[in-house]
Amino acid sequence: MILIFTGCVPSKEKSVYIVEKFSEPIEINSDWEKESWKNIPALHVNKHMGEDPDHKPKVQVKVAYDNEAIYVIFRVEDQYVKCIMDQYLDPVSRDSTVEFFFTPGDDISKGYFNLEVNCGGTALFKFQKGEGKGYEEIPESVFGEIDIAHSLPRIVYPEIKDPITWTIEYRIPVNILSRYYDEVDFPAPGVEWKANFYKIADDSSHPHWLTWSHVDHPEPRFHLPQFFGTLRFK
């Protein structure tokens, strides 16, 4: 059964999100409240992997597109926040981090991208070539074509134990994906991509592993594209 996203969903339903189109490019400044995003519905990263965490942040994501790019913004109502990774391709999943795993088409056998960004804006971006085929690190020169903004400082340490809300926003030019993935399906009405969104904090004092689309595995695992949900472009 496929369930189109309208809010919280039963844990084992396939998740679907309808991606709206922007009429023109928008400024990337991590402002969740700006006019461009106001009428775009949010999806919720609210299913946990592993044991039920004692800290479960509220994580919302909005996605949109235009003729050249995909836009993503995260809003995280969090606590016990820290980030110390500050170099591109550092293992940012140890920090308070949000992740976007996606296939620019509907065929997961061709591989998928994983873009992981900690709350300070440091990123890891790779292309996973497919099961048993390894991965390719996206060079920093290519990653530099992605506009990214973050609301917190580059380094957050010591850990912020009090409640705090932070945002990450970025614009991914679709043409850079064609350098790694064969026959990218450019966003257009009716096109579908496979994707999942995660919120993690491996080394937090209150670790957690949250997912948008249900992952049927007893322990936290992210590289399971068979459990990706669907982004359906409008």
Query: Would residue 8 count as lying in a domain?
Result: no
Query: Would residue 42 count as lying in a domain?
Result: yes
What confidence score (pLDDT) does residue 1 get? 28
The pTM of this model reads: 0.93
**Residue-by-residue DSSP string for 96-150:** SEEEEEEESSS-GGG-EEEEEEETTS-EEEEEE-STTS-EEEPPHHHHTTSEEEE
Count: domains in the chain: 1
- Helix residue spans in the chain (DSSP H): 140-143
Query: Would residue 9 count as lying in a domain?
Result: no
Q: In whole angstroms, how large is the CA radius of gyration of the chain?
A: 16
Query: Would residue 15 count as lying in a domain?
Result: no
Query: Would residue 141 count as lying in a domain?
Result: yes
Quickly state the pLDDT bin for 106 (edges 50, 70, 90). Answer: very high
Query: Would residue 2 count as lying in a domain?
Result: no
Query: Would residue 10 count as lying in a domain?
Result: no
- H/E stretch holding 193: strand 192-200
Here the CATH number for the domain that contains residue 220 is 2.60.40.1190
Q: What is the pLDDT of residues 25-67, one digit of tens each?
A: 999 999 999 999 999 999 999 999 988 899 999 999 999 999 9
Query: Would residue 90 count as lying in a domain?
Result: yes
What confidence score (pLDDT) does residue 12 get? 59
- H/E stretch holding 89: none
Residue 101 contacts residue 212 (beta carbons within 8 Å): no
Range of the domain at 72: 22-233
Q: What is the largest CA-CA distance in the chain?
A: 46
